[in-house]
């Protein structure tokens, strides 16, 4: 975690992430719980309504079956045959045909059974299409006395299937004599269609239908229901007191709710129970949560990107200020320009850069003061020698040479005297360009006599620039460098060209074809100039001239060096126009 302590960017990023993720997390938790409870209530109410519809459908179905079981009343011939204690073969055949019609009218019927109380005959049509007629009059007549208390609905098992039987007495009205008992054995298909018909097949729910004087499970959608499950459902239904509602519980290892609806069919209690697991209830909430998480994840990613960009931009500006402070610490006051943004950091940058500029001005003034102090000390030393005495002595030597007919010696001594007088003129700090060029021409003339034919030079300057004012002694150190370091340390000969051109500003170039400078040396000169470091290298004269010009002209002064050894080494600088009257032009 040390990187967080050391990085403002990391702190901003982590802070924004925490500030955005925690509210998202809390809102998701609250929204999920709220949605779950809301969906649970909706599912319970929806199932209550649908189960009421299913219960009405079951009752209508039972009414239909009840009417089917007593359809014998509609056939007068059949009723006449059933009122007889003896049934002829024709009557038995006719009766079997009527039983076939009842069986064929509903495909879900597993069997139709009729036992005659008078004849003792039994007729059954089963799911195999067999028509069975049997006669056991003693047993049937003995059971007939108990038919009036026979349960109207009973549940029996055939393998895994539960068969619901409906038992209806056939009464000979108005004598109230029992003629027989009709039993319809109903398979689970139709009941399943009514109880589970409008359920969503994708829902992992279980449905149960119970009839009860004491509860009996007549149908279940759970094909693997064991006896323990049967007992659990019947016990739960036995404990129900209200007409409809729900009970939280567990089924097949899953938590959920048992939703129930109760009713009666001819005083027979009926109950439909449906178990809905929590996974189904929470499915909609989970979908909502997933969609919310996707949207919020996109939002978090957007926030992360936005915060990263904003933090990086802010830290970038802070790092720029730190970099500028490091430059100032090393003595480089050329700091990066401010962005122009008017926020708090922008104001801080502007104030810092103003402070640096003021500090640069103060340091430059201090440097000028020290330079003036050094100049004053130099003048004090130079003043110890009488310049007039030396100049007069040189003039007398020149006159003597001229009197002996040695004109060349006279000219050289005159040039040396001009150079001496120009250099020792301590009162003058700014001269015209014409005066500076005359001094350089005298210097090059003397150097030409020294090198004989090995040194050639040219000076070119437009006439309109001759009255331009420049600091004194800005060309002689540069020309001296070209001769001493370019020619003497090179091939011993060469050419020096001083070119002055006018344009938007004055451009001065000193060009020689001497030894030249390596790129590394040029980089060191540029660095020394930028750092205000005056060391004792071979180009100290160049640096002094450049700094004098920079102090004199300020930001309008520009310079540069390019060098190809023994071809052309060019030292160039640009200065603004300044005439003798002190006017400065753009």
Q: Say what the pLDDT of residue 268 is.
A: 77
pLDDT for 3-49, tens place per residue?
Answer: 666 666 677 777 777 777 777 778 777 877 777 788 788 888 888 88
Q: Say what the pLDDT of residue 415 is.
A: 77
Name the least confident of 135-139, 206-210, 544-548, 553-557: 135-139
| Strand stretches in 137-195, DSSP E | 153-158, 161-172, 177-186
Side-by-side strand order, sheet with 206-212: 215-220, 206-212, 268-277, 254-265, 244-251
Backbone angles phi, psi at 247, to 5 degrees: -135, 130
H or E segment and range at residue 459: strand 455-460
Using pLDDT thresholds of 50, 70 and 90, give the confidence band for residue 461.
Answer: very high
Using pLDDT thresholds of 50, 70 and 90, give the confidence band for residue 242.
Answer: confident
User: Whose CA is closest to 166, among 149, 147, 186?
Assistant: 186
Count CB atoms within 10 A of the CB of residue 463.
7
Q: Say what the pLDDT of residue 584 is.
A: 42
> What average pLDDT is seen over the chain?
77
User: Residue 581 has what DSSP assignment?
Assistant: T
Helix axes 8-69, 278-329, angle to 10 degrees: 170
Chain centroid offset of residue 172 CA: 86
pLDDT at 267 over 70: yes
Q: Which long-range contacts (CB under 8 A, 24 or more apart) does 421-427 make?
A: 421/387, 421/391, 423/473, 424/382, 424/387, 426/379, 426/382, 426/383
Using pLDDT thresholds of 50, 70 and 90, give the confidence band for residue 433.
Answer: very high
pLDDT at 133 over 80: no
Q: Which long-range contacts (CB under 8 A, 24 or more apart) does 149-154 make?
A: 150/181, 151/213, 152/266, 152/268, 153/211, 153/218, 153/268, 154/216
pLDDT at 573 over 90: yes
Q: Say what the pLDDT of residue 536 is.
A: 40
pLDDT at 396 over 90: no
Q: Say what the pLDDT of residue 131 is.
A: 60
The mean pLDDT value for 280-287 works out to 76
Using pLDDT thresholds of 50, 70 and 90, give the confidence band for residue 465.
Answer: very high
Using pLDDT thresholds of 50, 70 and 90, give the confidence band for residue 464.
Answer: very high
Residue 394 to residue 523: CA distance in whole angstroms:
43
Query: Cβ(546)–Cβ(478) under 8 Å?
Result: no
Name the least confident of 7-21, 181-195, 311-325, 470-484: 7-21
Highest mean pLDDT among 2-11, 172-181, 213-222, 437-446: 437-446
Q: Say what the pLDDT of residue 88 is.
A: 80
């Amino acid at each position: 975690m040390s990187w967080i302590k050391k990085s403002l960017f990391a702190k901003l990023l982590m802070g924004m992430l925490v500030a955005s993720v925690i509210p998202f997390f809390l809102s998701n938790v609250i929204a999920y719980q709220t949605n779950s409870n809301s969906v649970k209530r909706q599912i319970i109410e929806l199932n209550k309504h649908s189960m009421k519809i299913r219960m009405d459908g079951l009752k209508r179905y039972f009414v239909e079956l009840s009417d089917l079981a007593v359809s014998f009343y509609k056939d007068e011939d059949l009723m006449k045959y059933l009122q007889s204690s003896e049934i002829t073969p024709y009557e038995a055949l006719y009766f079997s045909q009527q039983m076939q019609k009842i069986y064929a009218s509903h495909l879900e019927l597993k069997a139709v059974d009729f036992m005659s109380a008078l004849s003792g005959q039994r007729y059954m049509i089963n799911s195999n299409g067999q028509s069975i007629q049997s006669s056991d009059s003693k047993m049937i007549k003995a059971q007939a006395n108990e038919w009036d208390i026979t349960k109207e609905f009973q549940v029996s098992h055939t393998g895994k299937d539960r068969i619901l039987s409906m038992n209806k007495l056939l009464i000979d009205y108005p004598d109230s004599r029992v003629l027989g008992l009709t039993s319809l054995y109903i398979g689970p298909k139709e009941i399943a269609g009514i109880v589970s018909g409008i359920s969503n097949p994708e829902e992992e729910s279980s449905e149960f239908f119970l009839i009860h004087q004491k509860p009996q499970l007549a149908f279940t959608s759970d094909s693997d229901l064991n006896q323990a499950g049967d007992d659990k459902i019947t016990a739960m239904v036995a404990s129900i007191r209200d007409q409809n509602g729900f009970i939280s519980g567990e089924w097949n290892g899953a938590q959920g709710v048992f939703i129930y609806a109760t009713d009666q069919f001819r005083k027979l209690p009926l109950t439909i129970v449906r178990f809905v697991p929590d996974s189904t209830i929470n499915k909609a909430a989970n979908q909502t949560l997933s969609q919310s998480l996707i949207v919020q994840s996109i939002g978090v990613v957007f926030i992360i990107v936005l915060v990263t960009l904003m933090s990086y931009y802010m830290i970038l500006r802070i790092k720029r200020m730190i970099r500028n402070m490091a430059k100032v610490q090393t003595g480089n006051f050329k700091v990066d320009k401010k962005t122009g943004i008017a926020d708090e950091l922008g104001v801080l940058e502007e104030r810092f850069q103003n402070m640096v500029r003021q500090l640069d001005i103060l340091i430059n003034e201090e440097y000028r003061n020290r330079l003036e102090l050094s100049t004053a000390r130099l003048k004090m030393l130079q003043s110890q020698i009488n310049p007039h005495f030396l100049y007069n002595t040189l003039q007398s030597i020149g006159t003597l040479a001229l009197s002996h007919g040695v004109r060349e010696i006279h000219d050289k001594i005159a040039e040396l005297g001009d150079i001496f007088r120009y250099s020792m003129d301590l009162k003058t700090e700014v001269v015209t360009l014409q005066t500076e060029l005359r001094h350089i021409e005298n210097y090059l003339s003397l150097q030409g006599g020294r090198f004989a034919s090995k040194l050639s030079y040219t000076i070119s300057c437009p006439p309109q620039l001759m009255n331009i004012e420049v600091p004194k002694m800005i060309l002689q150190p540069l020309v001296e460098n070209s001769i001493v370091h370019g020619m003497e340390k090179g091939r011993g000969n060469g050419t020096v060209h001083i070119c002055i051109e006018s344009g938007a500003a004055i451009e001065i170039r000193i060009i020689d074809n001497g030894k030249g400078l390596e790129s590394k040396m040029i980089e060191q000169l540029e660095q020394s100039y930028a750092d205000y470091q005056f060391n004792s290298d071979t180009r100290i004269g160049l640096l002094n001239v450049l700094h004098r010009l920079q102090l004199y002209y300020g930001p309008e002064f520009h310079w540069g060096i390019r060098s190809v050894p023994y071809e052309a080494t060019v030292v160039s600088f640009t200065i603004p126009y300044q005439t003798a009257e002190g006017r400065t032009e753009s």
